[in-house]
Chain A
Amino acid sequence: MSSLTAAGPAKVRGQGVKRSGFLPYLGSKLVAALVSFFVTLVIGFVIFSLMPADPVRTLTRGRPTSEAQLAQIRIQLGLDDPIWERFLTFVGNTLKGELGYSWQFQQSVSSLVADRLGPTLLLMGTAAVLSIALGLWLGIRSGWRHGSLFDRIASSASLTLWSVPTFWLGMILLVTFSVGVGPIPSLLPAGGMSDPSLPQEGWTHVVDVARHLVLPCLTMVLVVFAQYVTVMRTSIIDEMGSPYLLTARAKGLTDDAVRRRHAVPNALLPSVTMIFMHLGVLVSGAITVEAVYSWPGLGYLTYEALKIPDLPLLQGTFIVFSASVIIMNLLADVVYRFLDPRVRAQ
């Protein structure tokens, strides 16, 4: 471990490390983010446009469609336009903040995304908060007393759950708690976001949505929290031999205070990166969980777009997902500057 880390953030702050200006730093990160976004835009367009597919035939598979009808739909969808023309339209629309018009749902991509953003953030956000809290807590405890029974149980349980396929775990929880197995009765709904037979507003609705949220959220948490346990545990173990902890103990601090005030703040940095990466992909939802629990989220919407493929919808969701990751990375860079003095010193 380097001496910088060993010094701990509180002490470095007092040493008056020479700082580079914040605004130039932010500017350079912003430019990098914009370049990343544009490159992602181009890559997204090229990859999706080159996919071997016949969207019109796939789209119309359920209805009797004549050759003339298929030709007309191709014209309407702009599939007969040259690719460079489609690219310019795509870039132009994106710059204007328009995400295009979905071929299968026959409405604007932004309205489709907006409809599903709330449910996605509700599920993914709740799951993220719980898994971060649970993962960090377990990681800290396990790392601090690594080798203990608590550590062995927490580490092996989290790694086992991490290795479990999400859809499989989802199905098991669904059957166990929705249908009921043995002495366990049917406790929770099998899917959807609300019970259509209940009022869709007010306190009843809130409680109803919470009931529907339990199983998908639990599935997400059980699969995701392990990565926080692992990273946090490793970071804590890395810090444990550091001289600054010895100093802290020598000052007469309790074991708990040493861990909380000195070890954890330093060990948190890798987890901060992971948290921001996690936040970046929140909006992309979780296709498997959404599919198992029929949750109306963005992940499943993307899957539906891919099946046709509905290029405007696919490109639209791709832009939203990319932008989210890029923004969260930018935020992570900015937050890191405040959290980690080494970044300020660069």
Chain B
Amino acid sequence: MGTGNPRRRLALAACALSGSLVVGATAFGAASAESATSAASVSAAQETTLRVRMAGSGVDTLNPFLAFFNGAYDIFGSIYPTLNSLDENGKPGPYLAESWTPSEDKLTWTFKLREGLKWSDGKPITAEDAAWTLNLIMTDTVAGTANSSLVANFESVTAPDPATLVIKTKAPQANVVYMSIPISGIPIVPKHVWEPRAKNLKDAKNDTFPVVGYGPWTLTEYKPEQYAKFDANKDFILGRPGFDHMIQQSFKSTDAAVAALRSGQLDYINGVNPTQFKALQTDKSLLTAQEVGNGWTGVEVNHNARTRSGKKIGTGHPALGDPVLRRAISLATDKKTLVTKVLDGMGVVGSGYLPPAWPQWSWKPAAGQETPFDLAQAGKILDDAGYTKGADGVRVDPKSDRPLELRLGIHSDDTADAGISTYLKGWLETIGIKLKIQTLSMSALNSDLAKGDWDLLMDGWTTGPDPTYLLGLQTCATLPKDDGTGGNTDAFFCDEAYDELFKKQLTTFDQDERAKVVAEMQDILYKADVDQIHFYANTLDVARTDTVTGLITGQPDAQGMYPAQTAFWSYLKAAPPAAKPAAASAEEEGGGGRLWVGAGVLLVALVGGGIVLRRRSGAGDRE
């Protein structure tokens, strides 16, 4: 009876359909997976492709005047040139510009550009392209959306001849050579392509492929939220890319990206988490490398939020204005434990405001000047300052009579914040400070931050090789106006000596001298205990050794940490392994065999399951 029943057939067909999806996929999956596994590298025409994970932020727009996200700048770094490159020590080097010299009065920079370079459409690259790009950003509000701060001090930019670019600044500016570098600087675009778009720049999606540009790669295809495909520029002036093509594929979760790497869908991931890194270290087919971090994680202290005119704002605890309390919080923070427990040891204990990725600016307190982890000392200085404990063990501020109950804002999507806050809560309670942890979105935290409605806040910043912007966040100029607008501060820090040094570093053209000024600034910040830097998390990289080599440049230090890498050089220097190891080939072949075995097992299971079900249903009908 059951066999002739059209409805049952329909039901079984539905069931079978779901199964067949798996089985079908298994069958053709096997064939495709085999090709994909080796695609890393070799396609039918023996052309090689490097497959990397797109930056986690994704791409907001391909319009280089409007984009803010790192994923977009990774692409711009690959397809548009800049005046300078960044050498492996993080210092400005040649790119479009062969040489650059400041004038005696430090107000004019003359860049000599290489001759004979051509855009991907064959038109020559001249100084006029650079002058036009920079002028547009300086004069057009829309064009200045993303990068106008980098040219804010420029008086004029001219191209007296095709190989000379002259930048005049309003005041001396030491970091002009960092203004146009790959990824973190301003990309130079071809004038002949962008001039017609300039009138309606807001709507220029820049999605005509291949995108006309110049760089190690040419963008040939882009699907939002999916992937970007590139062809290598074999005549690239700084070296020929080791692969013929590159694919940057978007993976919204790092776990999925790791799965893709392990299954041969990707060759390289920049930025896995410590747990994933440790798990992958045991896989001998993978290269795992730690690079020193380019950012810090720490806690901001709201010490008397106020406007530029000194008007108090917000609801911060008044006792945080007392350096003794801030010092006690710092003494009660065991940064080594945070690195060990929160980062699994994959980071550097924090001290200076600038991260170790840029060693020329990195600073540490002199021996004996470091703030130790000392709960007893923290308690003692609070006792001495009159913060007596109440019946509930919580100290009371002698000036305001308010108990030391502080809010700690943490990011809802950051597991490190959650880990740190748990430890901080315990340590601070030991010394009589109660913490109330508030988990908020980044945007809500930012909103509270600007209004001063917080006590302590977990924060983190990364920086490119020029520290000016990050240092600038601590100047008095970033405090909000009286009407609450205009603020760009993070801890309401304002110190005259610091501000003076900030101006000085901007006008100190000798980079070694500049580093000394920057060190003094970090010393001031360290002693103020306003931005308490917990650690610099290492950037953790993983690459397949059977498909790619050369991604990581430089030598590891004694702790095994490599210098900071940039996508620009990593992708350029990456190359297929010289010869595929015999073992790897055998494994691949074996893998193909296993695929078919797996497919067979699954097929048998599904068919068997179907038969059992049919028998049962038939039996039911007969009952």
Contact = CB atoms under 8 A, between A and B. Distances in A.
B359 interface: no
Contacts of B486: 67, 70-71
Interface string A187-210: 111111111111010000001101
A53 interface: yes
B302 interface: no
Contacts of A60: 68, 146
B251 A192 contact: yes
A294 B250 CA distance: 7
A106 B229 contact: no
A2 interface: no
A251 interface: no
Interface string B198-229: 00001101000000000000000101111101
Nearest to A211: B25
Given A64-B150, A133-B11, A197 B18 contact: no
B444 A107 contact: no
Contact of B29 (A68, A193, A211): A211
Interface string B611-623: 0000011001101
Contacts of A54: 443, 446-447, 449-450
A221 interface: yes
Interface stretch (A15-23, A178-186, A240-248): A178-186
Interface residues of B, number: 99
A171 B258 CA distance: 11
Interface string A130-145: 1001100100010001
Nearest to B621: A256
B439 to A, nearest CB: 14
B32 interface: yes
Contacts of A185: 591, 594-595, 597-598
A21 to B, nearest CB: 35
B175 to A, nearest CB: 11
Contacts of A145: 620
Given A130-B17, A171-B255, A218-B21, A115 B224 contact: yes
Contact of A58 (B147, B249, B442, B487): B442
A239 interface: no
A187 B152 contact: no
B299 interface: no
Given A65-B149, A256-B621, A106 B29 contact: no
B60 A58 contact: no
Contact of B148 (A69, A217, A308, A309): A69
Interface stretch (B110-118, B261-269, B319-327): B261-269
Contact of B30 (A175, A187, A306): A187
A115 B67 CA distance: 19
B306 interface: no
B25 A210 contact: yes
A187 B443 contact: no
A309 B60 contact: no
A300 interface: yes
B33 interface: yes
B25 A53 contact: no
Contact of A53 (B223, B229, B446, B591): B446
Contacts of B620: 141, 145, 148, 150
Nearest to B620: A145
B251 A67 contact: no
A260 interface: yes
A63 interface: yes
A53 B441 contact: yes
Interface string A59-85: 111111111111111001000000000
A67 B5 CA distance: 73
Contacts of B144: 69, 72
Given A134-B18, A294-B256, A300-B252, A190 B263 contact: yes
B382 to A, nearest CB: 33
Contacts of B595: 185-187
B73 to A, nearest CB: 8
A217 B18 CA distance: 9
Contact of A187 (B26, B57, B69): B26
Contacts of B51: 196-197
A68 to B, nearest CB: 7
B260 A191 contact: yes
A151 to B, nearest CB: 11
Most buried by A among B39, B145, B203: B145
A76 B140 CA distance: 13
A192 B149 contact: no
Interface residues on chain A, size class: 35 or more
Contacts of A301: 225
A294 B7 CA distance: 37
A63 B203 CA distance: 21
Nearest to B247: A196
A335 interface: no
Nearest to B58: A304
Contacts of A69: 144-145, 148-149
Contacts of B264: 186
A174 B68 contact: no
B585 interface: no
Contact of A107 (B11, B149, B205, B223): B205
Nearest to A105: B60
Interface in B577-617: 591, 594-595, 597-599, 601, 616-617
A285 B448 CA distance: 31
B149 A53 contact: no
B61 interface: yes
A193 B224 CA distance: 11
Given A195-B32, A300-B252, A187 B60 contact: no
B488 interface: yes
B424 interface: no
Nearest to A180: B263
Contact of A186 (B152, B223, B591): B591
A293 interface: yes
Interface string A148-176: 10100000000000000000000100110
A281 to B, nearest CB: 21
Contact of A190 (B61, B260, B594): B260
A181 to B, nearest CB: 11
A60 B49 CA distance: 33
B485 interface: yes
Contact of A67 (B441, B468, B488): B488
A192 to B, nearest CB: 6
A133 B16 CA distance: 11
A207 B39 CA distance: 18
A174 B255 contact: yes
A7 interface: no
Contacts of A308: 443
Interface string B238-261: 000000000101111101110110
Those 10 A-B pairs whose CB atoms lie nearest each other, nearest first: A133-B14, A64-B469, A190-B260, A66-B149, A53-B443, A296-B225, A190-B259, A137-B11, A54-B446, A185-B594
Interface of B: 1-2, 5, 7, 11, 14-15, 17-18, 21-22, 24-26, 28-30, 32-33, 36, 39, 43, 49, 51, 57-58, 60-61, 63, 66-70, 73, 141-142, 144-150, 152, 202-203, 205, 221, 223-227, 229, 247, 249-253, 255-257, 259-260, 262-265, 441-444, 446-450, 468-469, 477-478, 485-488, 591, 594-595, 597-599, 601, 616-617, 620-621, 623
25 contacts: A51-B444, A53-B443, A54-B443, A63-B146, A64-B150, A65-B149, A66-B152, A67-B488, A69-B148, A73-B145, A107-B205, A150-B620, A179-B263, A190-B263, A191-B253, A195-B265, A196-B247, A197-B39, A211-B25, A217-B21, A256-B5, A292-B252, A292-B253, A294-B256, A306-B441
Given A54-B446, A180-B598, A191-B251, 19 more contacts: A51-B444, A52-B447, A62-B73, A68-B149, A76-B141, A107-B203, A130-B18, A141-B620, A179-B262, A186-B595, A187-B595, A190-B257, A197-B36, A197-B39, A254-B1, A255-B621, A260-B7, A291-B253, A304-B58
